[in-house]
């Protein structure tokens, strides 16, 4: 189905796979439904290569791993998706041309097609082992990308903060000190200068960004407004 080919192309685009080969597709090609499902992966469909037989399609490749759910009928090494991705990544690193072979939706790969491959991949599932073609490509593509991914297992989202300028800090100090005077916090007068100096030093140590300085000033405004509202 064109939809399945489009979904497969989209999954490939997600995870850095770019060369799509079709073997005797039963749908008309080019296919509008494939284009619709491919979303941003139209370039993969535009460069697709089509072969009439599996033998011809696999001719250029040095290492081919096939996907199947029927591992009991296979007399080859059976890889998990993770192990398969590592093997493909290692082979690619030596200059070998590698491929993943997926079967049709209805029957998957037959024994003759499997015999052309170096090993097989079985995706672990629960009670129902049949996967949509797009799903299978997505899972294998994810493992391929992950095999070379250096993203930390846990990380905190970082934003680029712009430090507050001296003018922004001076405005904050003036605003805060004015309201603290109004609230008679800076008391007694003999200690005001020392208290102001300590408050400014505390704020300076925090290394406020421009957004944080504005947020604090907004908080001061809200607190003062609420105080006067309560007085009424």
Handedness of CA 6, 12, 18, 22 (dihedral sign): negative
Q: Is 166-231 the same fold as 2-146?
A: no
Q: What is the spatial distance between Cα 178 and Cα 160, in angstroms, rounded to a whole number?
A: 31
CA 31, chain centre distance (Å): 28
Burial label, 191 (beta-carbon count in 10 A; 0-12, 13-18, 19+): exposed
Q: In this prediction, what percent of the chain has a pLDDT beyond 90?
A: 74
Protein fold of 166-231 = Helicase, Ruva Protein; domain 3 (1.10.8)
Instruction: Let me know the angle formed at the C-alpha of 188 by 183 and 194, rounded to the nearest 5 degrees.
Output: 95
pLDDT per residue over 114-138, tens digit each?
999 999 999 998 888 888 899 999 9
pLDDT per residue over 197-219, tens digit each?
999 999 999 999 999 999 999 99
Domain 2-146 has CATH 3.40.1280.10: yes
At 100, is the secondary structure helix, strand, or coil? strand
State the Cα torsion 112-116-121-125 to the nearest 10°: -10
Q: What is the spatial distance between Cα 120 and Cα 114, in angstroms, rounded to a whole number?
A: 8
Q: What would the two tokens of residue 116 be? A: 């052309």
Structural domain spans, the chain: 2-146, 166-231
pTM: 0.67
pLDDT per residue over 156-206, tens digit each?
777 778 999 999 999 999 999 999 999 999 999 999 999 999 999 999 999
């Amino acid at each position: 189905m064109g939809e399945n080919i489009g979904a497969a192309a989209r999954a490939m685009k997600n995870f850095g796979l770019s060369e799509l080969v079709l073997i005797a597709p039963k749908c008309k090609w080019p296919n509008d439904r494939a284009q619709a499902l491919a979303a941003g992966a139209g370039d993969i469909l535009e460069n697709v290569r089509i072969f009439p037989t599996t033998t011809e399609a696999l001719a250029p490749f040095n290492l081919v791993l096939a996907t199947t759910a029927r591992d009991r009928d296979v007399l080859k090494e059976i890889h998990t998706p993770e192990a398969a991705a590592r093997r493909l990544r290692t082979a690619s690193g030596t200059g070998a041309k590698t491929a993943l072979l997926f079967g049709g939706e209805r029957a998957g790969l037959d024994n003759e097609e499997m015999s052309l491959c170096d090993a097989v991949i079985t995706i672990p599932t629960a009670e129902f082992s049949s996967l949509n073609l797009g799903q299978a490509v997505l899972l294998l593509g994810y493992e391929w990308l992950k095999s070379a991914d250096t993203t930390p297992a846990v990380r905190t989202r970082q934003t680029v903060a712009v430090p507050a300028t001296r003018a922004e800090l001076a405005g904050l100090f003036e605003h805060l000190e004015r309201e603290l005077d109004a609230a008679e916090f800076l008391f007694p007068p003999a200690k005001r200068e020392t208290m102001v100096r300590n408050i400014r030093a505390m704020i300076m140590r925090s290394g406020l960004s421009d957004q944080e300085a504005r947020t604090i000033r907004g908080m001061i405004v809200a607190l003062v407004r609420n105080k006067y509202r309560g007085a009424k």
